[in-house]
Structure 1
């Protein structure tokens, strides 16, 4: 009986040993499978993180591109984000530009009260080709009647004549429009002269006046390096373009040539700095 019991125990131990050996033989395969599964998990996690980043980027782009609810977008954006701050500044700049353009289109003028409401001071800005230049100021008395009190407008602008023509008592808007027209025309002629000197070093400015109503230029004609004087007269002081063009050259036939007649027409139709660029391209001048 004891022998049988001993054999039974030995058989059970032998079975356990065989199972243990079998399990040890499976461990390398299981470890390889675990590594494979872990690699898949890491790949899925990386893909998940990438998708989350793409979703966040897409949502931010939708917020920035939407034309409405600008205020709500600004509140939702991160206040400390540099890109968000840049977008807010760009949106504000665009808004102010639109307001300023509308203000100018309706003929608006910036005005403040002076001397406890007894007077008004108007700001008259000037601009040329989208660039704002000088701003002038004009103050008027309101009582006992409307009259010009002070200003920094150039003396060659005929303020007195413009005031008489517009009747300040009833036509202040017409008066301001007329003054602004003269100022912007003057600023445009002056800016053209500045651009001419910057862009066309080969063209010599022989003469100009304070009003920029007379401009005498020295051209060099390619044929024989012939010098030619060109006088631009701006007799209409409300415009930026000349009303007369006169040429003077030793070769008397040159000003009457078809090419120079065409150039004279160009100078009367296009700002002088642009006209000279076109003339250089066609080899009319050096």
Structure 2
């Protein structure tokens, strides 16, 4: 025998089916309500976990703030509360430990501020919870901002480079060996000179290709842009082609250390006009010098 037996009305089978349908509908509604309640419980459980996490964070902040206030009071009072024999009168061992940690933190921040000014105003950011600093070196040419390079320094024991995005053709290892440990300011200054010189040489080639397109052609350049070969055409009866090779042996400069002039006319490089043009290329950025030659009507 089934419990809760439903008595079938005498009207017939159809009435009995109607009753079963109503019971099924009630059961479905109860199941849906149960699912909704379970979903609501799950949502509330997640909310409770988030609130607990926020509570723990707030407790940690309050505790840290109170500790710093207490330590500040100790600093303001000075070390006179502890006698010369080292016996503690008002300073507990835990408080002394916190005081040492705070002083270390103050020293660290002081060094960061000093580094920002001493190393030329580079942006300095603390990393890895005080175990390192990230130095950003911006490059520019003729007032135009170009790329920014970064290197992370580990300062836990000896200063060493952890990560960086310095181009591989920059002599970084040589600069590190020269003065990273002995003179950080000089190291960053020299590295900045190399990066800005590289950016300047590359920007000159870009400007030649953009501004002097159709007049001057860049025939050759390498990744470091310390050798650049350009070809131009001398204005005159023969329209002779002139090849200018710019060599940058000093990688900390954006001006060439040597300029070689070549042409089919063997006498052209030694002519007074091209001797003067050679000096101009040595003393002026390449795109500016070539633009000046074009404006003077010396090249096409």
TM-score scaled to structure 2, two decimals? 0.59
Aligned to 1:134: 147
**Matched length:** 183
Give the drift of 1:169: 2.9
How many angstroms apart in 1 are the aligned matches of 2:117 and 2:221?
Answer: 31
How many angstroms apart in 2 are the aligned matches of 1:252 and 1:146?
Answer: 55
Give the drift of 1:170: 3.4
How many angstroms apart in 2 are the aligned matches of 1:284 and 1:222?
Answer: 6
How many angstroms apart in 2 are the aligned matches of 1:255 and 1:222?
Answer: 15
1:172 equivalenced with 2:184 (yes/no) = yes
How many angstroms apart in 1 are the aligned matches of 2:172 and 2:118?
Answer: 23
Aligned to 1:277: 291
Change (3 A) 1:105 1:120: closer
Change (3 A) 1:155 1:247: same
1:188 equivalenced with 2:200 (yes/no) = yes
5+ long unaligned stretches in structure 1: 1-102
Aligned to 2:173: 160
Give the drift of 1:106: 7.8
How many angstroms apart in 1 are the aligned matches of 2:222 and 2:229?
Answer: 10
1:230 equivalenced with 2:272 (yes/no) = no
Q: Once the two structures are superposed, what CA deviation does each residue of 1:105-155 show, in whole Å capped at 9, x if it has no partner?
A: 981110111111001110000011111100000001112211111100001
Aligned to 2:71: none
1:198 aligns to what SS in structure 2?
helix
Matches within 5 A, 1:27-46: none
Contact 2:119 2:189 in 1 (8 A): no
Matches within 5 A, 1:94-109: 107-109=120-122
How many angstroms apart in 1 are the aligned matches of 2:195 and 2:117?
Answer: 15
CA RMSD in angstroms, aligned pairs only = 1.6
Question: Greater Rg, structure 1 or structure 2?
Answer: 1
Give the drift of 1:185: 0.4
Contact 2:118 2:185 in 1 (8 A): no
1:251 aligns to what SS in structure 2?
coil
Change (3 A) 1:104 1:273: farther
Contact 2:151 2:165 in 1 (8 A): yes
1:242 aligns to what SS in structure 2?
coil
Aligned to 1:4: none
Aligned to 1:263: 277
2:253 aligns to what SS in structure 1?
coil
